[in-house]
A and B are shown apart, each in its own frame.
Chain A
Amino acid sequence: DVKVTQSSRYLVKRTGEKVFLECVQDMDHENMFWYRQDPGLGLRLIYFSYDVKMKEKGDIPEGYSVSREKKERFSLILESASTNQTSMYLCASTPKQGMRQPQHFGDGTRLSIL
């Protein structure tokens, strides 16, 4: 089974801090994704990566950056956290085999910015 592991289930940070959310997958997947989930808005794509050192903006990239130095690891960075970034963050991965592959998700990180 594919395993996508997010480093923290719950995280509390302060406004202005630099925040790192880590995601690791163990199935050698090429594609990795970061979403945020908010009530009434569903999942919205922040950034994705289809290869090491490659990144693409999703629908809501403002205030975020990402890093993919190794194939198995995809990091989401909040450069200067703000209260409107309080949310549930979900990481996902999928192989590079066309549209039919389902994305596999981690358990999520519930981030609170105070």
Chain B
Amino acid sequence: AQKVTQAQTEISVVEKEDVTLDCVYETRDTTYYLFWYKQPPSGELVFLIRRNSFDEQNEISGRYSWNFQKSTSSFNFTITASQVVDSAVYFCALSEYLTGGGNKLTFGTGTQLKVEL
């Protein structure tokens, strides 16, 4: 069975600090995708990034960066120079192919990030 572990339940930082959110996954599949979603206080889950199992190249998008390491089954997310607007719950998710097409996601339990002034 697939499993996603986000060991950090809650993280508090002061604005402008860098912060890393950890994600560790388990799967027997050789082909899979990993996703990060952000859930602000308004409640809607917002897609941030996806990474496939064959692409270990790290990615940077503005203040966000992602470090995928297949050897340790980790897909960590770093926010540089955090801002109050980054305060949200962040979810890591692992895909499983559906025979009918599309994917089924297994989510971690989420990390609540609080950025304070």
Contacts and interface: CB of A to CB of B under 8 A. Distances in A.
Interface of A: 9, 30-31, 33, 35, 40-45, 48, 50-51, 54, 58, 88, 90, 92, 94-108, 110
B42 to A, nearest CB: 7
B9 A99 contact: no
A57 to B, nearest CB: 11
Given A99-B31, A99-B97, A107 B42 contact: yes
Contacts of A98: 97, 101-103
Nearest to B46: A105
Contact of B44 (A40, A50, A108): A108
30 contacts: A31-B101, A33-B104, A42-B108, A42-B110, A43-B107, A44-B107, A45-B105, A50-B101, A54-B100, A88-B43, A90-B45, A94-B103, A95-B102, A96-B101, A97-B101, A98-B97, A98-B102, A98-B103, A99-B31, A99-B33, A99-B96, A99-B102, A100-B33, A100-B50, A102-B35, A103-B47, A105-B46, A107-B43, A108-B43, A108-B44
Contacts, number: 83
